[in-house]
Structure 1
Amino acid sequence: MTKGPLPADLPRGMDLLHTPRLNKGTAFSEEEREALGLVGLLPEGVDTEENRLRRVMLQLDKKSTDMGRYIFLQSLADNDRTLFYKAIMSDPVRFMPIVYTPTVGEACRTYGHIMRRPKGIYLSINRRGRVAEILRNWPEKDIRFIVVTDGERILGLGDLGTNGMGIPIGKLNLYTACAGVPPRMALPVMIDVGTNNEALLRDPLYLGLRQPRVRGPEYDSFLDEFVTAVQEVFPSCCIQFEDFANINAVPLLQRYRDKVCCFNDDIQGTAGVAVAGILAALRMTGKPLAEQQFLFLGAGSAGTGIASLIVQVMQQAGLSEAEARQRCWLFDVNGLLVESRNDLASFQRPFAHAAPPANDFVTAIESLKPTGIIGVSAVPRAFNQLVIEAMARLNERPIIFPYSNPTSHAECTAEEAYRWSEGRAIFASGSPFPPVRLGDRTLIPGQGNNVYIFPAVGLAVFATEATRVTDQMFITAARAVAAQVSEADLAAGLIYPPLSGILEASIHVAVDVARTIFAAGLARVDEPADLEAFIRSRMWQAHYRQLI
């Protein structure tokens, strides 16, 4: 017996089994099977959620590679979305490296080969003038988050064209798994303007436009159309720009950040997680932030984004803007950023200081005497033995952050940083590294993963229906992440909270960010008396719904 009339839009039979957000497979109850036309379409046995999860884990254990596990999990998401999230939320430490970096990098390299069912929206520049119409093809009408890329700078792997769709999909997986953002309100988008990757253009299985990348006014106009169409079709949506090349990433953020609810995770999210790591690291060194000096390897959008946020935090610590900028130095393929260089972009200029040119990174270290080096260059092993040893000579506890992803593009490994610094390095990387045994000590590397920042910021934006995303929200998030690092974590060498507790950590961060949103007058809802209870009430949970 049903408990009343069934919703008119509720699928039945095979249609229901092919609807990932509603499908429960063998966990449909006897009553649901009778009412929804499922009798005979499923084995007689009725599973519990726990038994469904047990079966997933058993099948995963039979996969011999993380790529195989990635493909299996994405297929699971296509079939039973609740079970997919239940699996990855059951063990974040195990599943983060599979659904995101480093495995997602290899998935993007071969995305046209492994794709089984299209996900998200593909916006080809050949369809200009029709973007709003295409967005309306998406079945969900209340989209709150779009992660969008044009595939030109995927992780540290470069131009992967539409193969880069794996990144928006992966980011949105983490919004839900790490912060409970409802998955039906999230939409991955690929802006397809072509690719300059000749290998992809020759690949018969590549599914994007087979043409060189469109640039200039035509590109800018298409992005304008996209942003305008999102406001029209999904007026409560926050746009996350992801993995755009430097020539587009910074201008896009500057153009839209004060007009619509948007942010760039490569710029602001990476900056937030770096600041969180620095604040926690200073609890180890006992030195104030105002006395630190940082040297970046890489002067693109990520490097300048981190430096800009550090400057703001240093200003809050009492330095002037000029004093704070003087403590952030950047080094790129052409050497140290100094005033005499004439090859710098406008967003790099604020960090070009009056100093002699330097074309050798070790020489720059010896001259500037930084307390920390931050790698965002995507140049593997750029923090070589000479670099680490120079930092160790200058600092009792050198801060070494090789943040480039995936693991194969990290500026150094955890073992190299610890061994060459005699175990004194305060280390965090963008992708995970295993514990390192050094003498009679076991050193546990930290992972400066943006997952500590952007899902929590997203949860706060979603709950408060914020109209804008500001840098202060990322500073608040960074402070909240650093505050959750315990003394025991620091003693083990960790400067980020354990990933095993990422959901509760995200709630803590989201509460603080939501408080910042309300204080700035950016919320579209009334501030509740109990902010944490309000945040929790807005979160989606990975449990099957009773359909009748």
Structure 2
Amino acid sequence: MEIGQARLNNPFLNKGTAFTMAERQTYGLIGLLPPRVKTIEEQAAEIYALYQTKDSQIEKRHLLMEVFNTNRTLFFYLMEMHINEFMPIVYDPVIAEAIEQYNERYLKPQDAVYLNVDHPELIETSLKNGANGRDIRLIVVSDAQGILGIGDWGVNGVDISVGKLMVYTAAAGIDPAQVLPISIDAGTDNEQLLNDPNYLGQRHHRISGSTYFDFIDQFVTSVEKLFPNSLLHFEDFGRGTAAKILDQYQDRILTFNDDIQGTGIIVLAGVLGALKIAKQDLVDQKFLSFGAGTAGTGIAKMLYQELLRQGLTPDEAKKHFYLVDKQGLLFDDTEGLTDKQKAFTRQRSEFDNDADLTDLKTIVQTVQPTVLIGTSTVHNAFTEDVIKAMAQHCERPIIFPISNPTKKIEADPVDLIKWTQGRALVAAGIPVDDFDYQGVSYRFGQANNALIYPGVGVGALAVQAEKIDDEMLAAAAHALSNLVDSTESGAPVLPPVSQLRQFSKVVATAVAQSAIDQGIAAPQYHDASQAVADFVWEAKY
């Protein structure tokens, strides 16, 4: 039992001024705190009042991180009270600024583990030190090579791992004492960091090839040994590594890649929600993905698998997809294709040789998509001309500019409504205020993975699933889309972040039930709702 200053310095046990007099006696805290005993409600009100005095979003985040670093229970109590307001501050989009300023603002490691590819012999020791005897059930690990919207940020990307775990707890209720954020420092190709005297990571270019993948394998093996009941969540790995790692381990351990699977689920859920509003069928849609990296190909795969579940053959389903990347529309003879892109390429014989299929407007005019998804990080790529070209051939265009942060989004959702005279069904990767247009209040769904991955992870953990498979992911997407209100004009295609806690439970239950139905849950679990309820932690003293 930790007593005295050790207890006050342990964020998992600290209550600050809320320690009762009896607790102060028991834990050796007499004389170490002001005499007044406050309730968690009083503490939260005090912190929130201070939060409101901060002028900038980054300063607001800095204050909340101070609370996080000292008192996890109070932090998550605040998060639950103000989740709609705090989500953009503690995670996306403000986290991008925090990552870029990580070296200058570094104060504490936030209970993260920093692994160095140059020293694989230290993996197990590092993990033991980070866990410090805790029962770790959830790990988020990133090598920060491909942070959506800002790219390679080396060891600074540890904030992504910390932030993802915050959302897991705030949204779905995993015990914050059972999580472990991890940074894998494989070097960085970001010259700004390499030339920054304050940079806290390894000052060399990224390690790749067998040395890198051998390190990943040693890491996974150590996690299996030390934390056999944990979920290993991979986050923001690069285009050349993310899919390979997922393919290697997804049938071996309980693992999840948010950029590939999470983005795919949230877009599938959003498309299903939009089709519910439009009263259309998935099998009648044409999908154009602008941006065919890890996220873009993951989205295509998720939509493709749903078409198969709805009865199409593989050849029929593939015909619904058009992937556009830096080279333009991707063909089977395009140079530099990744394995994941090759599954969705087109043949040049399908098109007029005179068409310029490197220009987005021309591609849209030629393909006539009904669903346009942006993961390109090319700001304002969805121009008025592009959108109007799409709307000419589509009654209810479904348009998801989901790149973030704001400076990377493909189009302003408000403009999409204007350019289509209110016909577009829109979700964005950033929070967007309601917009009144021609007598209708349009609410924009946020295609933020935070709406889906916490429920997926907690659902799998609650029934000790052997793995997270495609059926569980589909169950999550359908559970989320079923919450969309299709009867109200201007309704969002995804439920609002303000209801995150409630619908994360719905998603978790659907995922747990899918695992039970498939026989890949632990045999003692039969009631998914009860299993999820028993697993969830609450922020209270």
TM-score by length of 2: 0.96
- Pick which of 163-172 and 464-473 moved more: 464-473
What displacement does 1:49 show? 1.1
Runs ≥4 in structure 1, deviation > 6 angstroms?
none
Query: Structure 1 residue 539 and structure 2 residue 536: aligned?
Result: yes
Name the SS for the 1:246 alignment partner.
coil
1:277 partner SS: helix
> Is residue 57 of structure 1 aligned with residue 48 of structure 2?
yes
CA contact (8 A) 2:441 2:489 kept: no
Q: Could you tell me whether the CA contact under 8 Å between 1:181 and 1:462 is conserved in 2?
A: no
Match in the other structure for 1:395: 394
Write the deviation string for residues 370-397 of structure 1: whole angstroms up to 9, x where unpaired.
1010001111111111111111111121
Contact 1:149 1:242 in 2 (8 A): yes
Whether 1:205 aligns to 2:204 is no
Among 180, 185, 193, which residue is 2:178 paired with?
Answer: 185
Aligned to 2:322: 329
Correspondence for 1:352:
345
Q: Tell me if the contact between 1:381 and 1:411 (Cα under 8 Å) persists in the aligned partners.
A: yes
2:103 match: secondary structure: helix
Decide which moves more: 337-346 or 308-317.
337-346
1:467 match = 466
For residues 155 and 113 of structure 1, the distance between their equivalents in structure 2, rounded to whole angstroms, comes to 22
Q: What one-letter code is carried by the residue in structure 1 that aligns with 2:397?
A: P
Give the conservation status (yes or no) of the 8 Å contact 1:144–1:185.
yes
- Match among 143, 147, 156 for residue 150 of structure 1: 143
- CA shift, 1:47, in A, is 0.5
Matches within 5 A, 1:219-368: 219-354=212-347, 355-356=350-351, 358-368=357-367
Mapping of residues 37-52 of structure 1, within 5 Å: 37-52=28-43
Query: Shift of the alpha carbon at 1:172?
Result: 0.4
Post-superposition Cα deviations, 1:337-368, rounded to whole Å, max 9, x if no partner, equal 11232321121111011234711111111111
Give the alignment of 1:92-171 within 5 angstroms: 92-119=83-110, 120-138=112-130, 139-171=132-164
Between the aligned partners of 2:62 and 2:255, the Cα distance in structure 1 is: 30
Amino acid at match of 1:419: K
Say which of 493, 512, 515 aligns to 1:514: 512
Q: Is the 8 A contact 2:440 2:489 kept in 1?
A: no
Residue in 1 aligned with 2:403?
Answer: 404
Q: Is the 8 A contact 2:442 2:491 kept in 1?
A: yes
User: Where do 1:9-20 residues align within 5 Å?
Assistant: 10-20=1-11
* Kept in 2: contact 1:407–1:432 (CA 8 A): no
Deviation of 1:525 after TM superposition, in Å, equals 4.3
Q: 3-state SS of the aligned residue for 2:468? A: coil
* 2:485/2:491 contact within 8 Å kept: no
1:457 aligns with 2:456: yes
Maintained 8 Å contact 1:296/1:303: yes
Corresponding residue to 1:527 among 499, 509, 525: 525
The DSSP-based 3-state class of the residue aligned with 2:307 is helix
Q: Secondary structure at the match of 2:441?
A: strand
CA deviation after TM superposition for structure 1 residue 320, in Å: 1.0
Q: For each residue in 1:487-518, what CA deviation from the matched residue of structure 2 results, as whole angstroms up to 9, or x when unmatched?
A: 35x53331111222211111111111111111
- Opposite residue 252 of structure 1, the aligned amino acid is I
Task: Please give the alpha-carbon distance, in whole angstroms, between the structure 2 residues aligned to 1:223 and 1:408.
Answer: 33
Shift in alpha-carbon separation, 1:353–1:188, aligned structure 2, 3 A:
same
Aligned-residue sequence identity (percent) comes to 38
Contact 1:83 1:542 in 2 (8 A): yes
SS of residue paired to 2:129: coil
Aligned residues: 533
Q: Distance in 2 between matches of 1:130 and 1:184?
A: 23
**Which amino acid is the alignment partner of residue 496 of structure 1?**
L
Q: 1-side partners of 2:525 and 2:229: how far apart? A: 18
Preserved CA contact (<8 Å) 2:480 2:495: yes
Q: 1:305-337, CA deviations, whole angstroms, 9 ceiling, x for partnerless residues?
A: 111111111111111111111101100010101
For 1:32, the aligned partner's letter is: E
Which secondary structure state, in structure 2, belongs to the residue aligned with residue 187 of structure 1?
Answer: strand
Root-mean-square deviation (Å): 1.3
Tell me if the contact between 1:299 and 1:348 (Cα under 8 Å) persists in the aligned partners.
Answer: yes
Preserved contact between residue 365 and residue 389 of structure 2 (Cα < 8 Å): yes
CA distance in 1, matches of 2:364, 2:448: 26
Q: Which stretches in structure 2 are left out of the alignment for 5+ residues? A: none
Distance of 2:431 and 2:457 partners within structure 1: 23
Cα distance in 1, alignment partners of residues 204 and 107 from structure 2: 24
Does the CA contact (< 8 Å) of 1:376 and 1:404 recur in 2? yes
Shift of 1:471: 1.7
